[in-house]
Every structure is written in C-alpha cells, then in structure tokens.
Amino acid sequence: MGRRKGLDIDGVLLLDKPDGMSSNHALQKARRKLDARKAGHTGTLDPFATGLLVCCFGKTTKICGAMLNVDKSYRATLTLGRETDSGDLTGEVVQQALEFKGITEEQLATVLPRFVGEIEQIPPMYSALKRDGKPLYEYARQGIELEREARRVTIYDILVVSFTPTEVVLDVFCSKGTYIRTLAQDIGRALGCFAHLRALRRTSVGPFKLTEAISLADFQALESPQSVLLSLNDLPPDLLPEKLRQKETL
C-alpha cells in the first residue's frame, strides 16, 4: 500500500508552542492534524522555550526564506546567581556566585543600557551553528568547546517586566541572529553574579504576534483546523516572492 501524501493546503498557522517539545515536533503535529502535504516553519525555538512558532503549509512555505531576516521579540526570565553550560535551566551549573543575596534595581538599571543597540555576541556552543558539517551542540555534548567568532546583532529595546533580587523578567526586541541565552549570560556577568534563562517565550516574529496564536492543544481539538489558517491574501505582500504576488493578484 502506497504512502499517503496528504492534501494540498496553503496557509500560515500562528502556533503557541508548548514547552518540552521541539519546533519540528510541534510542526509535524499540526501538519498531521491538517493532513497537509507540505510544511515548514520560519525559525526554531528550543524545546524548553514557548511561544510563537510560525508554521507554513503549501505555497506559504515560500515565505520561510524572507522570514529568516525579520526582527523578533521575547519575554525572558533570568535566574540570577548561577550560570549553566547551555545558558538555560536545562544545563549544568558551571559558575555560581558565592553567598549571593541578590541585586538591586539600581544595579540592573545601570547594566541594561550596555546591551541596547548594536552589540557583539559569541554564539553559544549549544546552538545549531555548524562546524565541519556538525552542529555545535554535538561537540558541546561531548564536552568539546570550540572557538567561535563574535557576531554583531542589534537589541532595539529591553524593558523590565518584573524584578526581584534573584530573578528578573525582561521583554527583549531584537534583530535576527540574537541569542537570548547569550544575552542572559552576558547580563549576569556584567552584574557580577552570573545568570541563566529559567524561561523564554517568543512574543513576535516579524509582523506576526503571539496574541494572534493558538495553542497546540486547542488547534488539535478543532473540528475545522483550516479555519484558523492565514491565507496568502492575509499575508503582508513584502513577504511573498514576486511570482507568487503576481499570481495572487490575477
């Protein structure tokens, strides 16, 4: 019996990815619910992270290339006092501030402006960047650390959402290629107490907002899942390749 290929479905799903699941796993669950033939997404979230995952089906997969260059927003929860090898709560503690009692709001306010604007980041070892055809995270899992060149990214704004002496929540608006785990780590080092991400939630990707997204559980419960997809006509024209724009206006 031949393998069932699925339906030719075109549209974009704004999905609120749950924690503990890879971006591809979430995408494939959505694809199976739609029985869609072709699917892709516009940017990976780490399994521990939640929030906006832009899932594209059929012809709308053609926007994936353009979406790699868009700005993004995140809500980041930083636990202070400890740094992990992965930069987040899934890693092993590698540095710790002894007898750490916390920081003050004044200390935070002094440090944060250093990270707004064009800055340099060294990509983390726990990343999908490749060296000799192998992702860096594979080297990291073997305990190997390689030299990485710093990259220039832009942080447009950082807002303090909430503060305690040992944990802060920040809203970060940034350019493509920004590693929020690295940002958290660098802020912790600047504060002199170390830090790592306890939680990360992506709140926007280019023109798309988390407020417009649906949870995976709610999507899977829909009787008519296609009803929540954005059509080609719903998408900003500048995201569509020229040939596709012409077809949609005919």
Q: What percent of the chain has pLDDT over 90?
A: 72
Q: How confident is the model at residue 1 (pLDDT cuts 50, 70, 90)?
A: very low
* 86/190 same-domain check: yes
* 107/171 same-domain check: yes
Domain that includes residue 191, residue range: 72-202
* 141/46 same-domain check: no
CA atoms within 13 A on the CB side of 134: 11
Q: What b/e sequence results for 202-241 when a residue is b if at least 16 CB atoms lie within 10 Å of its CB, and e otherwise?
A: bbbbbebebeebbebeebeeeeebbebbbebeebeeebbe
pLDDT for position 126: 66
Q: What is the pTM of this model?
A: 0.90
Q: What percent of the chain has pLDDT over 70?
A: 87
On the question of pLDDT at 140 being above 90, the answer is: no
How are beta strands 167-174 and 151-164 bridged, if at all?
antiparallel
148-200 pLDDT, tens digit per residue, is 778 899 999 999 999 999 999 999 999 999 999 999 999 999 999 999 999 99
The reply to whether 1 falls in a domain is no
The reply to whether 5 falls in a domain is no
47-59 pLDDT, tens digit per residue, is 999 999 999 999 9
**Number of separate domains in the chain:** 2
Rounded distance between C-alpha atoms, residue 93 and residue 213, angstroms:
34
- In the residue annotation, 238 being an active-site residue is answered as no
15-35 pLDDT, tens digit per residue, is 999 999 999 999 999 999 999
Q: What is the largest CA-CA distance in the chain?
A: 68
* 77/198 same-domain check: yes
* 117/220 same-domain check: no
Residue of 16, 46, 85, 186 marked catalytic: 46
On the question of pLDDT at 250 being above 50, the answer is: no
95-118 pLDDT, tens digit per residue, is 999 999 999 999 999 999 999 999
Q: How confident is the model at residue 216 (pLDDT cuts 50, 70, 90)?
A: very high
* 185/98 same-domain check: yes
